[in-house]
């Protein structure tokens, strides 16, 4: 049986990635009140790089050989920025709001493609885009006394994530999955160094298990999400992945007593509906990646929808 013909397994991986992502986000929100965001991100990428170190030692130079260094850098920068915006928002707004705004990334992809690759947005996609952005407006609630700058920062994570997702898709046309992830973790770790150094504060010993757990969670999230697309199509994985909004809402309610009102719930439904419709209309590729040998083509299926995962 083909991997893509096992939707139940794919949906299970997607559900697992949604749960792990929500728990990791809740842990980050807790730690962010006691540890600088830059330190959380640095340790997160350090843990991911260390997990991949045995693979690097085994394959040595062949693991790092690439002709797409600029694209790797773009993915690392956009992924790092996405996490920074997401974590900054997490420390100031409800967990479910931050998660929902980050999940608006599929709505931003057509706009990023228009700016980056000059790919025009088909007429059929304007309706889900408009619906999704109306939902975002309801969540942001622009007004003199109601608009939160941290909600805007949270939406910045979606824009950055969209750039990361598109650059990952470009890389997947010619690069194996572990090389993409290695460059992502390692380059992002290097980008984190200056800000971490300037913002460094002593970290209490009791918080180190939380920080290491967050790093392991992010790596596990990427693996689960990648495996979901190995076994099932985007039309199955995407709707299940939005369950992280439900998990985040429950965790926010149980831990911080955050209860969304009717306007926020309506906005959430519009964002989720618009995102699913946008992904559903994305059956045909918007652009043609370079022709590649069959050996590397299989790896692109695995990483085609990798988050930075969730980068």
pLDDT of residue 130: 87
State how far the alpha carbon of 52 is from the alpha carbons of 46, 220, 247, in Å.
10, 12, 29
CA 263 to CA 269: how far, in whole Å? 10
pLDDT tens digits, one per residue of 73-96: 999 999 999 999 999 999 998 898
Most confidently modeled range among 123-132, 179-188, 230-239, 262-271: 179-188
pLDDT tens digits, one per residue of 203-245: 999 999 999 999 999 999 888 887 887 787 766 777 788 888 8
pLDDT of residue 3: 58
pLDDT of residue 281: 63
pLDDT of residue 225: 81
pLDDT > 60? residue 44: yes
Mention every residue, 6+ apart, whose C-beta is less than 8 A from residue 214.
24, 27, 28, 31, 40, 43, 44, 47
- What is the arithmetic mean of pLDDT over 61-83? 90
pLDDT of residue 233: 74
The model's confidence at residue 303, banded by pLDDT at 50, 70 and 90, is very low
pLDDT of residue 155: 92
State how far the alpha carbon of 40 is from the alpha carbons of 26, 29, 163, in Å.
13, 11, 22
- What is the arithmetic mean of pLDDT over 253-264? 86
pLDDT tens digits, one per residue of 277-296: 776 665 544 434 444 344 44
């Amino acid at each position: 049986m083909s991997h893509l013909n096992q939707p139940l397994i794919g949906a299970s991986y997607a559900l697992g990635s949604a749960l792990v992502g929500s728990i990791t986000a809740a842990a980050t929100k807790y730690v962010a009140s006691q540890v600088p965001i830059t330190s959380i991100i640095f340790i997160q990428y350090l843990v991911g790089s260390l997990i991949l170190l045995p693979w690097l030692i085994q394959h040595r130079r062949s693991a790092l050989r690439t002709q797409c260094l600029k694209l790797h850098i773009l993915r690392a920068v956009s992924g790092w920025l996405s996490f920074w915006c997401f974590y900054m928002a997490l420390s100031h707004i409800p967990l479910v709001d931050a998660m929902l705004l980050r999940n608006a990334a599929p709505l931003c992809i057509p706009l990023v493609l228009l700016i980056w690759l000059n790919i025009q947005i088909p007429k059929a996609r304007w309706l889900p885009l408009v619906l999704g952005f109306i939902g975002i407006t309801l969540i942001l609630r622009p007004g003199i006394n109601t608009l939160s700058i941290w909600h805007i920062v949270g939406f910045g994570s979606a824009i950055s994530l969209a750039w990361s997702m598109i650059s990952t898709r470009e890389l997947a046309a010619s690069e194996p999955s572990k090389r993409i992830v290695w460059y992502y973790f390692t380059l992002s770790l290097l980008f984190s160094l200056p800000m971490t150094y300037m913002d460094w504060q002593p970290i209490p010993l009791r918080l180190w298990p939380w920080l290491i757990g967050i790093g392991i969670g992010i790596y596990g999230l990427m693996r689960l999400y990648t495996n979901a697309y190995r076994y099932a199509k985007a039309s199955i994985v995407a709707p299940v992945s939005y369950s992280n909004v439900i998990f985040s809402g429950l965790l926010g309610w149980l831990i911080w007593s955050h209860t969304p009102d009717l306007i926020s719930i309506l906005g959430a439904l519009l964002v989720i509906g618009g995102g699913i419709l946008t992904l559903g209309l994305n059956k045909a590729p918007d652009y043609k990646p370079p022709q590649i040998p069959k050996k590397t083509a299989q790896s692109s299926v695995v990483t085609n929808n990798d988050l930075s995962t969730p980068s």
